[in-house]
Structure 1
Amino acid sequence: MRTPAQNAELALLLEVAGTPKPGNVDRHRDLEELRFEHFLAGTVGARGGLELAENGSAIGPAFERAIEGMAAQGGGNTQFGALLLLVPLVRAARDECSQPIVEAVCEETTVADAAGFYRAFDHVDVFVSEPPTDMEPLDVRRGSDAISALEDRGLTLFDIMGHSVPGDDVAREWLTGFERSFTAAERLADADGPLTNRAANVFLTLLADRHDTLVANRHSEAVAQEVTERAGELVERDALETDRDAVEAFADELVERGVNPGTTADITAAGLFIALEHEAITV
């Protein structure tokens, strides 16, 4: 029987192995400077932080350790957002991998947890939008240099996630009891076939449900909406079963355009973990 940390590691591996995932690295597609093997190495590197969460560590130190290990490969940021979801889920799984428990884990985070989150940005470059003027002292891109401002305001990690919504759907999961992650787990359980195929299918349905905030922030709301509408068209006609070439072409096009729905991939990874913990899917 796998431990929660092992299930989290497996979820990251299954997510990146799923194909086709339009715009994202998968086992058939690399980005210009970010390759499939970087994700494999990032997953292995994150293990120490996931094990800390499993053993009852506070969220902040566990997350920072996971990111430090993840970043010890040549590609840069591979799974920052996914780990921001998985660390509290793994911590919750000590008791029960349920929405009420993970909500409590998130709401009970402290200022020290927020400081650990900020220190994680010292280890890897992460794309983040410009903050509002009143939040400039708390710009996460400042990393540990922003901790004094954080402490002056007494903000917990849950508070920081609240300040990131709307605009960041990983943070939104923290505020909604991981709503979309649990939905993804249900869809994975209901699907058929190899788990990597199921992961790609669920990724596409999530992308069709709601625009990807990473795409919106890197490109524009219009581009994010276009991607969601096109994903919706493919889902509506069950293209992964009836016209897989159309999905493959969409995936290649987004890679060529540099349009990367990374937030949707993060939520897919969280869904895979929940489904594995609930034994709704098996490997």
Structure 2
Amino acid sequence: MRPDRNAELALLLEVAGTPKPGNVDRHRDLEDLRFEHFLAGAVGARDGLEMAADSAEVGPAFERAVEGMAEQDGGNTQFGALLLLVPLVRAARGGAGLTRSDAEAVVEGTTVADAAEFYRAFDHVDVFVGDPPADMEPLDVRRGSDAIPALEERGLTLYDVMDRSVPGDDVAREWVRGFERSFAAADRLADADGPILERAAAVFLSLLAERPDTLVAARHGEDVAVEVTDRAATLHERGALETDRPAVEAFADDLVDRGINPGTTADLTAAGLFIALERESVEI
């Protein structure tokens, strides 16, 4: 299957996996964001993913994917996932598998023009980000295309922008750490047993258990993010998905009720699904 189709499939599989504590899945909606919005977002992103598979540069492909994703009524469904998937699709276009070095070469080769397209993507959809430091206010991504002159004046590539977003954003961290956790997620998916949606839920819980979600930290504070990770770790360590599934379901419901959304962990799960599909290490 073409990389762009595997990426679309990864987005669909990610949202269909359940329970995925705090996130939309096929059994849970958020107040203003529903399962069908994610299905429509994945399909809408298709043109941008196809551009990446057909040799387009990362920036234009990402901007087009976000534009298409945003055509549904729910708003931001998969912005972070697409920021991971577009360079991975671009790296996989040779058809000879996908490695971390492939992905690193793609992101390290991005340009100022790619960064400008990244900023334009913020014109299509509201994305939650924290306030930047005072010296970075001209480059606040929430300004969208209005920030491009400051970006060009500083000569920052898209890789540079991601590098400046660490440690507060674990999607950006993947860019500068060679997609470390995305590839680890793919390995876990390959090693797990059972249907792919069960594996996706298990890998999501394992990722949430090992590191506080940066979106939760940005929205609710570091203490809440650590609390969520500690609870996930307790459930993961005792294999609760297999031995006490109601406990995981209750955790999922509690996070939804409290408006706590580990969205970055979901983004990493989608990236892991794509890598596993691209490597043909999982079957559907």
Q: Report the TM-score when normalising by structure 1.
A: 0.99
After TM superposition, list the pairs within 5 Å mapping 1:168-207 onto structure 2: 168-207=169-208
Amino acid at match of 1:160: V
Q: Tell me, which stretches of 5 or more residues in structure 1 are unaligned?
A: none
Aligned to 1:119: 120
Aligned to 1:244: 245
Aligned to 1:100: 101
After TM superposition, list the pairs within 5 Å mapping 1:10-89 onto structure 2: 10-89=9-88
Identity over aligned pairs, percent:
76
Structure 2 residue 262 is the aligned partner of structure 1 residue 278: no
CA distance in 2, matches of 1:144, 1:282: 41
Residue 282 of structure 1 deviates from its aligned partner by 1.3
Amino acid at match of 1:258: G
Residue 8 of structure 1 deviates from its aligned partner by 0.1
Cα RMSD after superposing both structures: 0.4
CA distance in 2, matches of 1:51, 1:121: 20
CA distance in 1, matches of 2:283, 2:194: 11
Amino acid at match of 1:236: E
Where 1:76 maps in the other structure, the secondary structure is: coil
Residue 97 of structure 1 deviates from its aligned partner by 1.4
Residue 143 of structure 1 deviates from its aligned partner by 0.2
Aligned to 1:8: 7
Aligned to 2:209: 208
Segments of 4+ moved more than 4 angstroms: none
Aligned to 1:91: 90
Where 1:29 maps in the other structure, the secondary structure is: coil
Q: Report the TM-score when normalising by structure 2.
A: 0.99
Amino acid at match of 2:265: T
Query: What is the number of equivalent residue pairs in this alignment?
Result: 282
Residue 111 of structure 1 deviates from its aligned partner by 0.2
CA distance in 1, matches of 2:237, 2:104: 33
Amino acid at match of 1:76: G
Residue 142 of structure 1 deviates from its aligned partner by 0.2
CA distance in 1, matches of 2:125, 2:99: 30
Amino acid at match of 1:25: V
Q: Tell me, which stretches of 5 or more residues in structure 2 are unaligned?
A: none
CA distance in 2, matches of 1:128, 1:116: 18
